[in-house]
Amino acid sequence: MPPFDVIAFDADDTLWHNETLFTMTQDKFAALLAPYHDEAWIRKKLYETEIRNLAYYGYGVKGFTLSMIETAIELSEGRISGGELKNLLDEAKRMLSAPVEPLPEVLSVVKQLAADYPLMLITKGDLFDQESKLARSGLGTHFQMVEVVSQKDVPTYRALFARYDLEPSRVLMVGNSVKSDVLPVLSCGANAVHVPYRTTWAHEQVSDEEMEANPFPVLTNITELPALIENWREPQPQYSS
Query: How does DSSP assign 95-145, residue by residue?
Result: HHHS---BPTTHHHHHHHHHTTS-EEEEEES-HHHHHHHHHHHT-GGG-SE
Sign of the alpha-carbon dihedral angle for 50, 81, 75, 31 = positive
Q: What is the pLDDT of residues 140-152, one digit of tens each?
A: 999 999 999 989 9
When computed from its CA atoms, the radius of gyration of the chain, rounded to whole angstroms, is: 19
Q: Is 133 left (phi over 0), alpha (psi -120 to 50) or beta?
A: alpha
Q: What is the mean pLDDT of the chain?
A: 90
Cα-to-chain-centroid distance, residue 165:
25
Cα torsion at 104, 161, 154, 193 (round to 10°)? Answer: -30
- Amino acid 19: pLDDT: 81
Decide if 232 contacts 116 (C-beta within 8 A).
no
- Amino acid 200: pLDDT: 62
DSSP structural state of residue 126: -
Strands 145-149, 119-124: parallel, antiparallel or unpaired by DSSP?
parallel
Decide if 14 contacts 195 (C-beta within 8 A).
yes
Decide if 71 contacts 41 (C-beta within 8 A).
no
Question: Residue ranges per domain, the chain?
Answer: 6-16+102-230, 19-97
As assigned by CATH, the class of the 19-97 domain is mainly alpha
Single-letter code of the amino acid located at 5:
D
Q: What is the pLDDT of residues 181-239, one digit of tens each?
A: 999 999 999 999 999 887 665 656 666 666 666 778 989 999 999 999 999 865 454 44
Q: Which CATH architecture has domain 6-16+102-230?
A: 3-Layer(aba) Sandwich (3.40)
Same fold: 6-16+102-230 with 19-97: no
Decide if 84 contacts 32 (C-beta within 8 A).
yes
Going residue by residue through the chain (241 aa), what tens digit of pLDDT does each one get?
A: 789 999 999 999 999 988 889 999 999 999 999 999 999 999 999 999 999 999 999 888 999 999 999 999 999 999 999 999 999 999 999 999 999 989 999 999 999 999 999 999 999 988 999 999 999 999 999 999 999 998 999 999 999 999 999 999 999 999 999 989 999 999 999 999 999 887 665 656 666 666 666 778 989 999 999 999 999 865 454 444 3
Instruction: Tell me the C-alpha distance between 85 and 120, whole Å.
Output: 38
Single-letter code of the amino acid located at 146:
V
